[in-house]
């Protein structure tokens, strides 16, 4: 199967696959010993694993790259940009790379292009900004809000403001990829003090600039945009008052919620608020780190949160609860069951998981079924 893929892949596909390690494409070729079907492919395989190869028989794209590395041409070859970053490129050449880049590649490398002077090239910042806010490109890249929040948090302060504005515009477009949820919805972002920690936890050299509270606020604001009638109940020890406008930008609403940070954690507070208001949504979404201690009752079997959930379920038996645990621990406030879905960690895929659960497509044993349905 691997041999078949290697022989059927285009030259550009193989060149793209050659970027990376553990294992490298060269390792794979050495392991499976593909039989080349042409002199050109034989030369390409030899070159990829570091053996002598007939340069004239190599694919044109490889010849272009070799000529560029040797200084025989100033035209930047159309190769994966990772194959160029170790070269002493000019700002104009970095600009050429940017012009050929995909939407996601540009989003992920704004700091690199800025550091290399690409945005100082006349018209380059405007070009990249136009790509980033292009509705068709955003849709094709299947961009979702968390990617953009992470980018905005990571972009250096000195990057051209045009690019920040473009990312904000892209965020508004990306919200269209957040599914509309069925029925009445309540979103409960945890804004307690513990939510100020990085979403990745503290990892030397790899700590994210995105905090747990940023994720909770983003989820709430994105759901509100897609579901304007949704209730947003930020909480710490109690539910906090916060006026959000569904038509405000997602990042504006997210910033309002994130600014509430502080206090202890009482995960039952939003459900108690709903019960006191005699409101029973069809779907309740919690976004928290689950460090609930205010309402802890170690002598009881159920958490305070589940006690309040039982009261809400008595008024709406169809209600469902989703608990997004941004930093999963060994315990949870709500035990998994038919009407409760626990999600550990966060990525943009979570939005689709919530929608599927709300539609009744993800039971408690959903993943067991998915695994059993996978042919081995």
Q: What is the pLDDT of residues 336-372, one digit of tens each?
A: 678 888 888 888 788 888 999 998 887 656 656 556 6
Looking at the structure, tell me whether residues 146 and 253 fall in a common domain: no
| pLDDT at residue 298, as a whole number | 46
Q: Into how many domains does the chain fold?
A: 3
Residue finishing a domain among 129, 145, 177: 177
Q: Is 218 left (phi over 0), alpha (psi -120 to 50) or beta?
A: alpha
Sequence-distant (6+) residues with CB within 8 A of 267 are 190, 235, 286, 288, 290, 292, 295, 303, 304, 305, 333
pLDDT reading at 224 higher than 50:
yes
Asked if 291 and 196 touch (Cβ cutoff 8 Å), the reply is no
Looking at the structure, tell me whether residues 103 and 5 fall in a common domain: no
Looking at the structure, tell me whether residues 96 and 172 fall in a common domain: yes
pLDDT reading at 297 higher than 70:
no
pLDDT reading at 97 higher than 90:
yes
Asked if 79 and 66 touch (Cβ cutoff 8 Å), the reply is no
Looking at the structure, tell me whether residues 148 and 204 fall in a common domain: no
The domain in which residue 47 lies consists of 1-85
pLDDT reading at 222 higher than 60:
yes
Looking at the structure, tell me whether residues 338 and 192 fall in a common domain: yes
Residue finishing a domain among 152, 177, 202: 177
Least confident piece of the model among 214-218, 237-241, 328-332: 328-332
CA distance 18 to 20: 6
Residue finishing a domain among 177, 196, 231: 177
Question: Which tokens go with 357?
Answer: 């659960």
The structure's pTM equals 0.74
Question: Which tokens go with 294?
Answer: 């205010």
Looking at the structure, tell me whether residues 27 and 61 fall in a common domain: yes
Average pLDDT over residues 4-11: 86
Looking at the structure, tell me whether residues 149 and 79 fall in a common domain: no
Mean pLDDT of the chain: 86
Give, for 322, the enclosing helix (H) or strand (E): strand 320-325
| pLDDT at residue 294, as a whole number | 44
Average pLDDT over residues 114-133: 96
Q: What is the pLDDT of residues 244-258, one digit of tens each?
A: 888 888 888 888 888
Say which residue, 17 or 331, is predicted with more confidence. 17
pLDDT reading at 101 higher than 50:
yes
Looking at the structure, tell me whether residues 202 and 111 fall in a common domain: no
| pLDDT at residue 167, as a whole number | 94
| pLDDT at residue 291, as a whole number | 60
Looking at the structure, tell me whether residues 171 and 188 fall in a common domain: no
Say which residue, 21 or 48, is predicted with more confidence. 48
Residue whose entry in the numeric block shows the structure tokens 């747990």: 212
| pLDDT at residue 280, as a whole number | 95
Q: What is the pLDDT of residues 262-278, one digit of tens each?
A: 888 888 999 999 999 99
Q: What angle do CA 52, 53, 57 make, to 5 degrees?
A: 175
Looking at the structure, tell me whether residues 54 and 97 fall in a common domain: no
| pLDDT at residue 296, as a whole number | 47
Looking at the structure, tell me whether residues 299 and 213 fall in a common domain: yes
- Per-position DSSP letters for 261-313, written without gaps between them: --S---TTHHHHHHHHTT---SEEEEEE-----TT--TTSSS-HHHHHHHHHH
The model's confidence at residue 293, banded by pLDDT at 50, 70 and 90, is: very low
pLDDT reading at 90 higher than 60:
yes
| pLDDT at residue 96, as a whole number | 93
Nearest to 236 by CA among 280, 289, 276: 289
- Per-position DSSP letters for 38-54, written without gaps between them: SHHHHHHHHHHTT----
- What's the CATH number where 229 sits? 3.40.50.410
Strands of the sheet containing 340-344, edge to edge, are: 231-232, 185-189, 283-288, 320-325, 340-344
Asked if 304 and 339 touch (Cβ cutoff 8 Å), the reply is no
DSSP 3-state of 189 = strand
**What percent of the chain has a predicted confidence (pLDDT) above 90?**
39
Buried b / exposed e along 8-39 (16+ C-beta atoms within 10 A): eeeeeebbbbbeeeeeebbebbeeeebeeeee
The model's confidence at residue 204, banded by pLDDT at 50, 70 and 90, is: low
Looking at the structure, tell me whether residues 142 and 289 fall in a common domain: no
CA distance 311 to 307: 7
Residues in the chain: 376
Average pLDDT over residues 47-56: 90
Average pLDDT over residues 302-326: 90
């Amino acid at each position: 199967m691997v041999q078949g893929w290697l022989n059927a892949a285009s030259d550009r596909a193989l060149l793209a696959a050659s970027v990376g390690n553990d294992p490298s494409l060269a390792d794979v070729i050495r392991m499976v010993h593909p039989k080349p079907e042409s002199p050109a492919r034989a030369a390409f395989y030899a070159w990829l694993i570091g053996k002598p190869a007939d340069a004239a028989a190599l694919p044109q794209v490889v010849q272009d790259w070799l000529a560029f590395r040797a200084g025989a041409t100033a035209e930047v070859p159309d190769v994966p940009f990772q194959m160029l970053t170790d070269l002493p490129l000019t700002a104009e050449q970095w600009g050429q790379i940017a012009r050929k880049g995909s939407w996601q590649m540009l989003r992920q490398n704004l700091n690199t292009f800025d550091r290399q002077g690409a945005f100082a090239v006349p018209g380059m910042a405007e070009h990249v900004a136009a790509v980033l806010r292009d509705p068709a490109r955003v849709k094709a890249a299947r961009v979702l809000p968390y990617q953009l929040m992470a980018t905005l948090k990571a972009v250096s302060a000195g990057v051209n403001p045009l690019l920040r504005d473009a990312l904000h515009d892209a965020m508004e477009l990306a919200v269209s990829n957040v599914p509309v949820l069925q029925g009445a919805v309540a979103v409960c972002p945890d804004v307690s003090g513990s939510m100020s920690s990085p979403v990745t936890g503290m990892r030397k050299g790899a700590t994210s600039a995105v905090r747990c509270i940023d994720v909770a606020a983003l989820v709430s604001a994105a759901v509100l945009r897609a579901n304007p009638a949704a209730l947003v109940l930020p909480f710490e020890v109690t539910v906090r008052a916060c006026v959000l406008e569904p038509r405000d930008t997602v990042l504006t609403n997210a910033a309002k919620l994130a600014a509430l940070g502080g206090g202890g954690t009482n995960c039952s507070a939003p459900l108690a608020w709903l019960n006191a208001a005699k409101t029973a949504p069809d779907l309740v979404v919690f976004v928290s780190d689950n460090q609930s201690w205010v309402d802890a009752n170690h002598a009881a079997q159920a958490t305070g949160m589940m006690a309040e959930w039982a009261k809400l379920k008595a008024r709406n038996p169809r209600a469902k609860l989703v608990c997004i645990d941004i930093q999963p621990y060994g315990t949870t406030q709500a035990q998994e069951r038919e009407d409760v879905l626990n999600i550990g960690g966060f990525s943009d895929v979570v939005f689709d998981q919530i929608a599927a659960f709300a539609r009744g497509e993800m039971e408690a044993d959903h993943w067991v079924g998915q695994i059993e349905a996978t042919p081995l």
